[in-house]
Amino acid sequence: MKKDTSYTIRRVQRLPVILIGEGLLVGAVGGLIVMLYRIALTYAGKWLGEILDFIRGYPLRIAGWFLVLAIFAVIVGILVKWVPMISGSGIPQVEGEILGKLSQDWKKVLPAKFFGGFLCLLGGLSLGREGPSIQLGAMSGQGISRLLDRGKTEERYLMTCGASAGLAAAFHAPLAGMMFAFEEIHKGFSVGLMVSVMTASVTADYICSHIMGLDPVFQFELEHVLPQDHYWLLLILGVLLGVMGALYNKVMLKAQDLYKKPKRLNETGRLLIAFFAAGIMGLVMPSVLGSGGDLIVDLTAGEMAIGLVALTFVVKFLFSAVSFGSGAPGGIFFPLLVLGALLGGIFAMAGVEVFGMDPVYVNNFVLLSMAGFFTAIVRAPITGIILLFEMSGSVSQMLSLAIVSVAAYITASLLRSEPIYESLLRRIMPDRKPQSGKESYAGGQKVLSEFVIMSGSVLEDRTVMEITWPNNCLLVALEREGREMIPRGKTKLQAGDKLTVMTDERDAGYIHDKMENLCYTSF
């Protein structure tokens, strides 16, 4: 059924109530899919360990394993060629579709991302489960929307619910899932959407934790709260993490460039390099394989000396670049948290040696560094703080987390390091070629988008008729202090006003960028 203008407006008026029920459905379906993905990756890690034990010291077995890795690379290469949108993390793809800049087909993405991600982790690539989990959750939302024949505006809300559910189920972190959906994925906030996203996130977390348990992802003890006379160290740590986060972003993007430089190196060739590198690491330094959760266990248990931690950080950093740069289906979220933990360990151990700091605070710095490094790279500080609070089960470090995260955020911003997912989205945009079927752009449906006027923007204190609005954009509603108004030519806009605009689906990405410039910039 074609969704015309009047239908879209009537539907949106009932959306806050409708989305609660649909958020529950999306959370249940998305949570179940991501839980199955987590279980599959758990087995992949277990089987990889058994394989490495089996082949170690036997040249023929090692050769056989490299042959298997080559087969994995070929299979994943076929999947990436079949569905290019599964390449990499998946988070930029979800962001791009919600903003109206990309389009995906859930029926292809779900199986391809699931199986491709499983093979990459079974092969030992330094990738995480969170990006694929968010994409799987979002595609669950898209699938439900299309099966129920919902409009494009509603579909984007359901994809946001699915993305939140995916992160919640992946990390047992429902609050972080909800905040990430607003702060990074949807790029906006509304009360009606908040309730549905919260419903989806909590539902997914309940399903996953009911079957897999309630234990936090990172299980280590923080025996003492960091005293305030140590807080000057947090500022130094935040600056260090900001610099390293900017370096991380630069290296990850450079790795992609290096892979694309040889003209004859196709998707399969790039993946062969990554899988063979994983094979070599499995023989030389198996601790850096996979997402690296065991490294945090060893680090916080005091089983690693500072020299080993530094070596592990360098190798894991470079191996992550080789793995992610190849375009393999997998995320950078979990590996970057591990790298942040290693940086925190190095900093704290050096503090013990140089400043005479009590060793009982080493684990505190490990946790704080994970949040700071995440903030510097992704530029989502609230998500980072809440995520580490939920994943560690510790509520005593909130002030410390905030200080480190803010310092890292400011440092990375001053270094003009763009958030990693925005950089990745911009890179996949030129390569995006409209395809036949449901992946092509269809201009028939109408899309509603909401924007909030920020203080100091070009819209503040100006009338509607004074503004040069983007082409193919209709201002249909204005909400001020909870009251909805019909905008007229002489209506004076104020900071805090929420504008609802309508456009064709094919113009949604262009309109989003233009409206953000109007609402957020002062010139």
Q: pLDDT value at position 393?
A: 63
- Compute the distance between CA of residue 504 and CA of residue 518 in angstroms, rounded to an integer: 19
CATH of the domain at 508: 3.30.70.1450
Indicate if the pLDDT at residue 414 is higher than 70.
yes
Using only C-alpha atoms, the chain has a radius of gyration, in whole angstroms, of 23
Give a yes or no: residue 223 inside a domain: no
- Compute the distance between CA of residue 125 and CA of residue 122 in angstroms, rounded to an integer: 8
- Compute the distance between CA of residue 447 and CA of residue 7 in angstroms, rounded to an integer: 11
Q: Taking Cα atoms as reference points, which of 351, 323, 319 lies closest to residue 240?
A: 351
Q: Determine contact, residues 289/87, Cβ cutoff 8 Å.
A: no
Q: Do 105 and 138 have their domain in common?
A: yes
Determine the distance from the C-alpha atom of residue 465 to the mean position of all C-alpha atoms in its chain, rounded to a whole number.
39
Indicate if the pLDDT at residue 446 is higher than 80.
no
Indicate if the pLDDT at residue 296 is higher than 80.
yes
Residue at which a domain ends, from 155, 182, 212: 212
Give a yes or no: residue 260 inside a domain: yes
> Partners of 492 in the beta sheet?
463
Ordered alpha helix ranges (H), 267-395 = 267-284, 293-300, 306-325, 333-354, 362-378, 381-392
Q: Do 201 and 235 have their domain in common?
A: no
Give a yes or no: residue 84 inside a domain: yes
Q: pLDDT value at position 437?
A: 40
Give a yes or no: residue 322 inside a domain: yes
Q: Do 318 and 242 have their domain in common?
A: yes
pLDDT digits over 13-56, tens only? 566 677 788 889 999 999 999 999 999 999 999 999 999 999 99
Q: pLDDT value at position 1?
A: 43
Q: pLDDT value at position 457?
A: 82
| Number of domains composing the chain | 3
- Residues 6 or more apart whose Cβ sits within 8 Å of residue 351: 233, 357, 365
Indicate if the pLDDT at residue 169 is higher than 80.
yes
Average pLDDT, integer, range 385-406: 78
Q: Do 39 and 168 have their domain in common?
A: yes
Give a yes or no: residue 218 inside a domain: no
Q: pLDDT value at position 293?
A: 79
483, burial (CB in 10 Å: exposed 0-12, middle 13-18, buried 19+): exposed
pTM: 0.83
Residue at which a domain ends, from 428, 460, 478: 428
Give a yes or no: residue 219 inside a domain: no
- Compute the distance between CA of residue 204 and CA of residue 521 in angstroms, rounded to an integer: 37
189, burial (CB in 10 Å: exposed 0-12, middle 13-18, buried 19+): middle
Average pLDDT, integer, range 173-196: 77
Q: Do 243 and 161 have their domain in common?
A: no
Placement of tokens 């970057």 in the chain? 336
CATH of the domain at 46: 1.10.3080.10
136: domain range?
5-212
Q: pLDDT value at position 304?
A: 83
Q: Taking Cα atoms as reference points, which of 253, 247, 256 lies closest to residue 373?
A: 247
Residue 102, phi then psi, degrees to nearest 5:
-135, 170
Q: Do 458 and 341 have their domain in common?
A: no
Q: Do 328 and 292 have their domain in common?
A: yes
Q: Do 160 and 75 have their domain in common?
A: yes
Q: Do 457 and 424 have their domain in common?
A: no
Question: pLDDT: is 422 or 439 the higher one?
Answer: 422
Residue at which a domain ends, from 375, 407, 428: 428
Q: Do 87 and 115 have their domain in common?
A: yes
Residue 430, phi then psi, degrees to nearest 5:
-65, -25
| 12 — pLDDT class (breaks 50, 70, 90) | low
- Compute the distance between CA of residue 371 and CA of residue 394 in angstroms, rounded to an integer: 13
Q: How many residues does the chain have?
A: 523
Give a yes or no: residue 307 inside a domain: yes
Q: Do 33 and 117 have their domain in common?
A: yes
Give a yes or no: residue 402 inside a domain: yes
Question: pLDDT: is 502 or 146 the higher one?
Answer: 146
Q: Which two tokens stand for residue 60?
A: 């023929």
Q: Do 309 and 454 have their domain in common?
A: no
pLDDT digits over 67-96, tens only? 999 999 999 999 999 999 999 888 899 988
